[in-house]
Chains A and B, each alone.
Chain A
Amino acid sequence: MRPLTDEETTTMFEKLSKYIGENIKLLVDRPDGTFCFRLHDDRVYYMSEKILKLATNISRDKLVSVGTCFGKFTKTTKFRLHITALDFLAPYAKFKVWVKPGAEQSFLYGNHVLKSGLGRITENTNQYQGVVVYSMADVPLGFGVAAKSTQECRRVDPMAIVVFHQTDVGEFIRNEDTLT
């Protein structure tokens, strides 16, 4: 477990900023304590200072997970968000997409969101903007990437993909074994 290098930090922040913009600051600079990102086993964990100290007692090979996993670095050194980060990112999300009840399940099974399932969308969402997908009951369901801008969304036919699926809470079940 080690702190992130600058490159890693930038790549991760770039990714996060797609979803929460400058609100990353609120994650890094928290009034309720010191929180930090740590890299362990190619995964980025977000944890409080206290937990960090506690985790030092555990050897690296035995340590499975600390704090909250935000995502992992792929072999190509890209950063991939994990669904576990949803709890931290959803409150700060700038662009949101609400999915109709009928399309919830589809999304939670890992499918993209079609226009027919799109219930509501934040205005001025750009294409390829990272969005947080909510159910109509405002339960965050996962991350996505806007396939169409808000204006385009109005026009496209119902079966067009509006939001690309990134992660969803269904992964808690589907990827239970790999999700840490």
Chain B
Amino acid sequence: MRRLYIGGLSHTITQKDLKDRFGKFGDVEDVELRTRKDDEGVPYKTFGYININISDADLKKCMTVLNKSKWKGGTLQIETAKESILHRFAEERQATAEQRLQPPAAEDKRQKMLDSLSKAGVENFTMKAVVPGTEIPGHEDWVVSKFGRVLPVMQLSCRKGSKARTLKYDPSKYSHNIRRINPPAVDEPTPVTQLTWEVPGGDDDISKKRRGEFPPYQPPRPKKSRTDVVNSSNAVDRIRSEKTESVNNTAAIRVTNGFNLPTNPRLAQRRGAYVYDSDDSGEEIRRLVVTQLTPHVTLSQQADDDKLEVVGYDYLVKSRLSRQQDKGDKDEDEYDSADTDELFASRKPPPQEKPTPLKAEDSSGNSTNRKKMTKKKSKAGEEEEEKYDSSDAEEHLPSRKPSSAQQREDSGKQGSSQSKKVAVLPVVKPSSSESDDDDDDEEDEEESDSDDEEEEEQEEEEEDSTDSDSDLDYEAMFSNVTHLEISFADLKKLAEAYQETSDSTTPNITSDSAERPAPKKGTTPEDILAALMEEDSSEDERKKKKKKRKVVTATQLPAFQGTKALSRGSKTDESQKRQKEEEEGGVVKKQKLDSESSQLNHKATESETSRTLSRQKHTETEKMMSESSEEDEEEEEEEEEKKEELVKSTGAPKVLKTVRTKVPVNAETGSSSSSDEEEEEEEKIKANQSVLISQTAAKASPSSSSSSSEEDEDEQETPSAKNAVKAAPPPAPQSESSTSEEEEEEEDEEEKTTQAPPKVVLGAKEEKKLQKEANKRRLAAVQQRQKETEEHKKLIQGALANLDTPTAGAGKHIVFGSDDDDDEEDEQQTNSEVKTSKKKLLQDSQSEDEATDDDAAANKKGPTKEKVRLKPSGPQLFGGSEDEEDDNEEEDDSRFDIRPQFEGLAGQKLMELQSRFRADERFRMDSRFLEEVEDKEEESERKTNVTEEEEALEEERKKNLSILQSVLGSSQQTCSSKTPVKAKTFRDVSALHYDPSREEHAAFETKTDETKKESKSARKKKREEAQKLPDVSKEIYYDVSGDLKALFGQTKEDVAGGEEKSSWDQEEGEEEEEEEEMDEEEKDEEQIPMPSLLSADTSAKGEDSSVFKFSFFGDEAETESTQTVEYKVESIQAPKVLWQQDPRLQDSSSEEEEEDEEQKDQEEKTSTVAKTTEEETPLKKELFFFYHEDSRLTEGPKLFCRSTQLEDQREQWEERRTALRQEYRKKHKDARRKLKSSHRS
């Protein structure tokens, strides 16, 4: 295939002609004819291309024949032409297609290349240990790039604009240049469904996070510095709770746990800001642990500390007290100031919440020691003790409790344990003094509570979650308990006494008492029981406990009464009655005494025998407690308050108990103290206690009897229980009687205690029953309590009501302790107690169905008696006897009359004198003390003096204020207390109408040049005036700004004046017209003194209007004129918005002044501001709302009606119109002329 160019053709030749002509030599495939034409379409050149299959020989022949031959008027010119482009493209494409079909060839090429490269020492496109840039031998364009990789040097064609350039790209000169220049075959478009993307990455955190995988959230641990003790301790707590579950073990274990720092733990602790004296180990170790665990904390802490709190102006500083109230929040602990005591006090939660296991350590070392002894574990350090108490207490409790007497920690470790000891440990040395100290100890313990709170909390947290619940309960139980410390001696005595009277059947009282988490620690089991009973009723503590308690109580009471029964035989009913009759019962006492002894014996013997049994029970009870405690926690919280009350109330009984054993005097004091403690509440509480006891006893008795019979513990017990059933009612009366007579009481209590707590092992069924009962009892107790409170209220109400009645004048006299009362105080109180208790008993019996009929009857009798007694006693409490009332009535009526001697000024003085002595009769002043009239004169003189002084002071004050103003540099309105605040009046802007007749409204007018009318001489004069520089006062000028009122009021003028000044300076050389204007303004000001210029000194004005003085104190300006800042101003600008000023702000005096001025200035203008203002005053009263006969209502419609005839108006209008037209034309002309003149110039 050849392509031939054929030129020199004539225009007429067709393709066919060409084909025919060249067809002789070869096969003509394609003919292409082209004709070149000039502009006018005349062809001047024709040529063509043909594709022809022709052999070289034919081509030669053809060339020789046809070339330069003449054909149809033209000489042919034949040349071989380049291949047609299209043809070439087609061929190329075909070639590439073919290439694709044969890839192996390329592979081979590459392989060759690689081989040659490897020959040259290149392995895997890398040459090691070669300087970058060296060429590869055998390959020109291959170079070792950086990092030893062999890369080709490339020629890149680069197109910049229209120029194409080739760039040589040397990979050795660039660092990261391995990139595929030929993109790989384009990926197939991913289907839409697969368009989700994924971040590839490793396992490190960041890549994971990128992929959206986050590690489980871990709350950041608070970082605290050690210096911030509270914080640190909190942090410690938290960390503790998290980490140290296993720390419950003894201290030794802890120390070895690896928490120990090499340094002495104590030292470490001491480093802290404060040191707890009481307990070291737990805290210390924890802190150590924390410090160890968070070594970096301090640093980061600093960063935290750097956080600044920025507070707005209105930040309220809380008072310290309020702060403390809030301090429950731990955040605020940060801000604890140095006085930690206060903090502690404030932070001290209600005692119930915070159990005080630690108390036992410090205050009652005895008890702890005891425990140890019983355990036979010798723990050396106090730290160990601590841990034992706090953390281990729970764990060990069950185990300990079995040993009934000793290990009862529930009822305040000391008290309970001690009581147990009493029963169990006979080997104690007597220390008599301690019993007296009990009260003090209690207080100490309470105090220590506050101190130990934090530690306690921490310790609480230490314990396992499982343990913690029980611990909390346990501690909660302790919280209310005040600790009674009984010396060993006391215990010993008790024990000995018991031993002596051995062979008695009473079961372990102590153990029982111990079992219950008695909040009150009485030495005697009876007290404990009583406390327990109270708790039951009031607190609703664990139901299970209650069950057991019930059992216990039931057993107790029966035992107690059983002994009685034994001693008395069938006299129980009688004895009850007697007891009701209380004080008669000397015989009863004797009987009781007898029973006591027997009971004591019972106790001693049985305690030992039944210990084992009781132990088992204890363990069970403990478990139960722990379980139930969780449930009851809420309830407990609710009744915390009650607990507190109980604690108070229990305090007294404790004292009694303690006293019992040793000192009867103490008992007396206790009773007396209780009696002394004013309130009926306490009495009631006591009564409640006793009532509760009786209740529980009554209830328990039936159950106990059944249980006892079933269980067959001891023969003695069963009979006692039976007896109890019968005798259940008596205990309450006994207690009452005992209260009345202390010794008796003590004895009875002893009896009760000794006998009461026989223990019976109950089956599961029984337990359930007991539970139910306990619940019932609890509810009943709650009800009862409510009733009591109501009753109490009623009592008070009644008493008060009596007071209100006129006849009950006695109510005004409160007889607290008259001579008679002193003697009989104790008795009365005991009586009242008894009564109240009886009442409660009655209520109880009513509320409880279980109570036997006998009991109810007995109780009912009691209450009636009480009521009878109460009625007289009630008023006694609040008021005197009735006899006095009648006498006092008259006095009462006249009491509020003003006595004649107290009338008048002198009388007042007298009154004051008398009031100094309060209402003491001895110093009552009557008319004799009235001073004579002469004094009055003196007084008046004095007064004048005083007033002068006051005036001076007042003046000083004002001066100070003015100075203050100047110091502050702002116009603070002095809201002195003496100047009444001026009421702001409402100004109706919409009601504002332009009234040309009013002077102030001139402000709304645009000024016309009237200036030209002035004579030349006047102008000259003015100019001279203007040219002379105003005097600049050397006083400091304080720019008054910011206060709008001041701006619009007085100070506006000042400002205007100031502006004037400056303008005067500037405008000196300026045109006349302006000056004239200013002059006119000046005039205006002179003519129209501003209403706000009230303070202006008239005299000054009279002399020269340009000088005026002002002060911030309105009227006082005159007096202080020397001190006020003076301004000399040439002219004063007219008020721009006069109408805004409230004329009422003006004082009358100032108005007068103004009027004076006006008179002076009257020639110039007739209208004066003062007048206008006076006229305005009524208008200014406007309120926003319309009122009846509002002037606006009358004026308003006028605005809509024509005041004159329409025709008149029209005439006027036409006249005016012509005038206006003329004026307009004139102005227009003027303007034109001006324009022209300006153009020319």
Chain A residues within 8 Å of B, Cβ to Cβ: 3, 6, 9-10, 13-14, 17, 21-22, 24-25, 28-31, 34, 36-37, 49, 52-53, 94, 96, 98, 100-102, 104-105, 115-116, 118-124, 134-139, 150, 153-154, 158
Question: With the chains together, A13 CA to B964 CA distance in Å?
Answer: 6
CB distance from B139 to the nearest CB of A (A): 62
Chain B residues within 8 Å of A, Cβ to Cβ: 227-228, 302, 305-306, 308-313, 315, 317-320, 323, 334-338, 949-950, 953-954, 956-957, 959-961, 963-964, 966-968, 970, 972, 974-977, 1123
Contact partner of B335 (CB less than 8 A), chosen from A10, A22, A136, is A136
CB distance from B477 to the nearest CB of A (A): 34
Contact partner of A123 (CB less than 8 A), chosen from B312, B323, B950, B975, is B312
CB distance from B345 to the nearest CB of A (A): 13
A-B pairs with beta carbons under 8 Å apart, 27 shown: A10-B963, A17-B967, A17-B968, A22-B972, A24-B968, A28-B957, A29-B977, A31-B977, A34-B950, A49-B950, A52-B953, A96-B315, A98-B309, A101-B228, A101-B337, A102-B227, A115-B306, A116-B302, A120-B309, A122-B312, A123-B310, A123-B312, A136-B336, A137-B336, A138-B317, A139-B320, A158-B302
Contact B337 A136 (CB under 8 A): yes
| Contacting residues, chain A, for B954 (C-beta < 8 A) | 34
Contact A37 B960 (CB under 8 A): yes
Contact A28 B961 (CB under 8 A): yes
Question: With the chains together, A21 CA to B953 CA distance in Å?
Answer: 23
Measured CB to CB, the nearest residue on chain A to B327 is A137
Question: With the chains together, A34 CA to B334 CA distance in Å?
Answer: 42
Question: With the chains together, A137 CA to B460 CA distance in Å?
Answer: 28
CB contact under 8 A between A34 and B957, given known A123-B313, A136-B335: yes
Question: With the chains together, A49 CA to B323 CA distance in Å?
Answer: 35
| Contacting residues, chain B, for A122 (C-beta < 8 A) | 310-313, 315
CB distance from A139 to the nearest CB of B (A): 6
CB distance from B1008 to the nearest CB of A (A): 46
Question: With the chains together, A121 CA to B913 CA distance in Å?
Answer: 52
CB distance from A93 to the nearest CB of B (A): 9
Contact B959 A6 (CB under 8 A): yes
Contact B977 A22 (CB under 8 A): no
CB contact under 8 A between A21 and B305, given known A13-B963, A122-B312: no
| Contacting residues, chain B, for A102 (C-beta < 8 A) | 227-228
Contact partner of A121 (CB less than 8 A), chosen from B306, B310, B956, is B310
Question: With the chains together, A25 CA to B977 CA distance in Å?
Answer: 11
Question: With the chains together, A116 CA to B974 CA distance in Å?
Answer: 41
CB distance from A69 to the nearest CB of B (A): 18
5 more contacts with CB within 8 A, not counting A36-B957, A122-B311, A138-B320, are A36-B960, A119-B308, A121-B308, A122-B312, A158-B305
Contact partner of B337 (CB less than 8 A), chosen from A21, A24, A121, A135, is A135
| Contacting residues, chain B, for A6 (C-beta < 8 A) | 959, 963, 1123
| Contacting residues, chain A, for B318 (C-beta < 8 A) | 138
Contact B953 A34 (CB under 8 A): yes
CB distance from A156 to the nearest CB of B (A): 10
| Contacting residues, chain B, for A154 (C-beta < 8 A) | 308, 310
| Contacting residues, chain A, for B975 (C-beta < 8 A) | 29
CB distance from A97 to the nearest CB of B (A): 9
Measured CB to CB, the nearest residue on chain B to A136 is B335
Contact partner of B967 (CB less than 8 A), chosen from A10, A49, A52, A121, is A10
| Contacting residues, chain B, for A52 (C-beta < 8 A) | 953
Question: With the chains together, A115 CA to B956 CA distance in Å?
Answer: 43
CB distance from B254 to the nearest CB of A (A): 30
Contact A135 B957 (CB under 8 A): no
Contact B320 A123 (CB under 8 A): no
Contact A9 B963 (CB under 8 A): yes
Question: With the chains together, A25 CA to B313 CA distance in Å?
Answer: 18
| Contacting residues, chain A, for B317 (C-beta < 8 A) | 96, 134, 138
Question: With the chains together, A138 CA to B311 CA distance in Å?
Answer: 13
Measured CB to CB, the nearest residue on chain B to A38 is B956
Measured CB to CB, the nearest residue on chain A to B303 is A158
Contact B308 A22 (CB under 8 A): no
Measured CB to CB, the nearest residue on chain A to B231 is A101
Question: With the chains together, A28 CA to B972 CA distance in Å?
Answer: 13
CB contact under 8 A between A116 and B305, given known A104-B338, A137-B320: yes
Contact B968 A22 (CB under 8 A): yes
Question: With the chains together, A72 CA to B1027 CA distance in Å?
Answer: 51
Contact partner of B311 (CB less than 8 A), chosen from A9, A96, A137, is A96
| Contacting residues, chain A, for B957 (C-beta < 8 A) | 28-29, 34, 36
Question: With the chains together, A137 CA to B684 CA distance in Å?
Answer: 42
Contact A13 B967 (CB under 8 A): yes
Question: With the chains together, A158 CA to B970 CA distance in Å?
Answer: 37
Question: With the chains together, A22 CA to B313 CA distance in Å?
Answer: 14
Question: With the chains together, A3 CA to B950 CA distance in Å?
Answer: 14
CB contact under 8 A between A29 and B966, given known A6-B959, A137-B323: no
CB contact under 8 A between A118 and B308, given known A36-B953, A36-B957, A104-B338: yes
| Contacting residues, chain A, for B308 (C-beta < 8 A) | 115, 118-121, 153-154
Question: With the chains together, A121 CA to B306 CA distance in Å?
Answer: 12
